[in-house]
């Protein structure tokens, strides 16, 4: 039985790869490279997967993962809400059709000008984690609905966020009470377990701590309504990666949300990577090759400064694939700039490549083009095409 299931899996993955490689060939002819393909069907699949696994949680797409207008429009059509980090992101999602009531300004540190913009644009929901921020919000956006972001364990997450954000949980109630005295609406609690969090315990522990804040607030006559479980939901970056099972993970989260909170509590989340990461395929081409240090070095037309920037800022590792088949050799891959830091890998098992050959990476839709530096050494980032 298991053998049959494995065979079926292998067949499916073979046909998926050939479908992707055909798409790459067609798109390359049309657009050239470097090219970031974003598959709408995968955006939709991930959104529906999230909704199915956590039906009681409203997803606010964290556009910082990839703010391309085509992606935002796709999520607007699917009925998503949005997490924005700045007034510019806010203006972008509003211009693309999102309603202000479906936006959370989820940056705990906001400039006074950005808070003003939120008031003018009628975006009322926001997060904070410190008292000075409350004074700013009270001054520029009286009546705003606020969630206190607490510091929670980020154990094993690829990107640690608790180093920079989150109030101590034992201060949360006092901060919310202070907010109320300043004329704000204390609406609930938020947390972020760190990005690419494969450790479900982070969520379960954070929910437990948050549930206690809800209880304390209720006991003191200040019932809370919104529980924001943040982002962090992990994706598979490598084909044969094990240990990432969104369905199993969310099953545990779902149980916890049901048992630890009152039934009238509204749950929201801020997924970024999970919604957009698997949709992205980066297509690059070899622009030069040499033999040094006993191996082939291939220089690609995209690198660390552009669409592989996630290797630095997102601490991400990618699986490099080629269209060429055949015997593989340990080789090095590098970007196009005059900087040796712009090296992508020193030991990829790939076939021998020639100038013009394709090297591509799947699952690279999040924190890649979003943090690219256009124009360093004169190299442009990949053209983004929704397919
Ligand atoms: C406040 C906030 N919300 C949501 C996200 C999205 O997280 P992820 O892409 O891990 O789902 C981030 C990522 O840094 C964040 O800082």
For the chain, which residues make up each domain, given as ranges? Answer: 14-37+280-386, 40-276
The best mutation among 62, 83, 90 to test binding of ligand 1, ranked by most ligand atoms within 8 Å of the C-beta, falls on 62
Residue nearest to atom 13 of ligand 1 (CA): 195
Residue nearest to atom 5 of ligand 1 (CA): 231
- Ligand 1: distance of its center to the CA of 232 in Å? 6
Residue nearest to atom 1 of ligand 1 (CA): 106
Q: Which atom of ligand 1 is nearest to the CA of 270?
A: 4
Report pLDDT digits (tens) over 276-303.
999 999 999 999 999 999 999 999 999 9
CA distance 225 to 222: 10
Q: Which atom of ligand 1 is nearest to the CA of 271?
A: 11
Is residue 100 pLDDT above 90, yes or no?
yes
Q: Which atom of ligand 1 is nearest to the CA of 232?
A: 10
- Average pLDDT (238-249) is 91
Q: 366: burial class by Cβ within 10 Å (0-12, 13-18, 19+)? A: buried
The best mutation among 64, 89, 165, 166 to test binding of ligand 1, ranked by most ligand atoms within 8 Å of the C-beta, falls on 64
When pLDDT is cut at 50, 70 and 90, the band that residue 12 belongs to is low
Protein residues with CB under 6 Å of any ligand 1 atom: 62, 65, 83, 106, 161, 192, 195, 230-233, 270-274
The best mutation among 148, 230, 276, 367 to test binding of ligand 1, ranked by most ligand atoms within 8 Å of the C-beta, falls on 230
Task: Provide the mean pLDDT of the chain.
Answer: 95
When pLDDT is cut at 50, 70 and 90, the band that residue 11 belongs to is low
- Ligand 1: distance of its center to the CA of 61 in Å? 9
When pLDDT is cut at 50, 70 and 90, the band that residue 8 belongs to is low
Is residue 256 pLDDT above 90, yes or no?
yes
- Ligand 1: distance of its center to the CA of 383 in Å? 24
- pTM for this predicted structure: 0.95
Q: Which atom of ligand 1 is nearest to the CA of 194?
A: 10
Is residue 162 pLDDT above 70, yes or no?
yes
Do the domains 14-37+280-386 and 40-276 sit in the same CATH topology, yes or no? no
Report pLDDT digits (tens) over 185-228.
999 999 999 999 999 999 999 999 999 999 999 999 999 999 99
Closest CA to 146 of 225, 237, 217, 81: 225
- Average pLDDT (229-249) is 94
Please report the pLDDT score of residue 161 as a whole number: 83
- Average pLDDT (27-48) is 98
Is residue 6 pLDDT above 70, yes or no?
no
- What's the CATH fold of domain 14-37+280-386? Lyase, Ornithine Decarboxylase; Chain A, domain 1 (2.40.37)
Active site residue 338: yes
- Ligand 1: distance of its center to the CA of 386 in Å? 23
How many whole angstroms from its chain centre is CA 163? 18
- Average pLDDT (146-164) is 89
- Average pLDDT (21-30) is 97
Give the active site residue among 53, 251, 316, 338: 338
CATH placement of domain 40-276: 3.20.20.10
Q: Which atom of ligand 1 is nearest to the CA of 275?
A: 11
Cis, peptide link before residue 311, omega less than 30° from 0: no
């Amino acid at each position: 039985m298991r053998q049959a299931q494995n065979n079926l899996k292998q067949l499916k993955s073979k046909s998926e790869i050939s479908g992707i490689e055909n798409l790459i060939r067609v798109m390359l002819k049309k657009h050239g490279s470097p090219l970031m393909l974003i598959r709408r069907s995968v955006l939709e699949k991930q959104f529906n997967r999230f909704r199915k696994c956590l039906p009681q949680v409203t997803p606010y797409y964290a556009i910082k993962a990839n703010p391309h207008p085509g992606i935002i429009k796709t999520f607007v059509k699917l009925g998503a809400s949005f997490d924005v980090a700045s007034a510019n992101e806010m203006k972008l999602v509003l211009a693309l059709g999102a309603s202000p009531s479906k936006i959370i300004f989820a940056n705990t540190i906001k400039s006074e000008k950005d808070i003003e913009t939120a008031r003018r644009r009628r975006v009322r929901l926001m997060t904070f984690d410190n008292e000075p921020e409350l004074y700013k919000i009270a001054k520029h956006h009286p009546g705003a609905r606020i969630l206190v972001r607490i510091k929670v364990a980020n154990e094993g997450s690829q990107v640690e966020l608790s180093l920079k954000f989150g109030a101590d949980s034992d201060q949360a109630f006092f901060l919310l009470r202070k907010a109320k005295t300043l004329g704000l609406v204390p609406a609930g609690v938020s947390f972020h377990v760190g990005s690419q969090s494969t450790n479900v315990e982070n969520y379960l522990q954070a929910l437990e701590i948050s549930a206690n804040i809800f209880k304390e607030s209720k006991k003191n006559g200040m019932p809370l309504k919104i529980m924001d479980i943040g982002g962090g939901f992990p994706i598979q970056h490598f084909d044969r990666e094990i240990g990432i099972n969104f369905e199993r993970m969310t099953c545990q989260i779902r149980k916890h949300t049901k048992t630890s909170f009152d039934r009238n509590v509204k749950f929201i989340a801020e997924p970024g990577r999970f919604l957009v990461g698997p949709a992205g395929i980066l297509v690059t081409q070899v622009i030069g090759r040499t033999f040094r240090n006993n191996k082939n070095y291939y220089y690609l037309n995209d690198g660390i400064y552009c669409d592989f920037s996630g290797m630095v800022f997102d601490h991400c590792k990618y699986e490099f694939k080629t269209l060429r088949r055949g015997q593989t050799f340990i080789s090095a891959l590098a970007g196009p700039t005059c900087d040796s830091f712009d090296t992508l890998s020193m030991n990829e098992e790939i076939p021998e490549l020639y100038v013009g050959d394709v090297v591509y990476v799947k699952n690279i839709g999040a924190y890649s083009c979003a943090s690219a530096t256009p124009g360093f050494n004169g190299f442009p980032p990949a053209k983004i095409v929704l397919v």
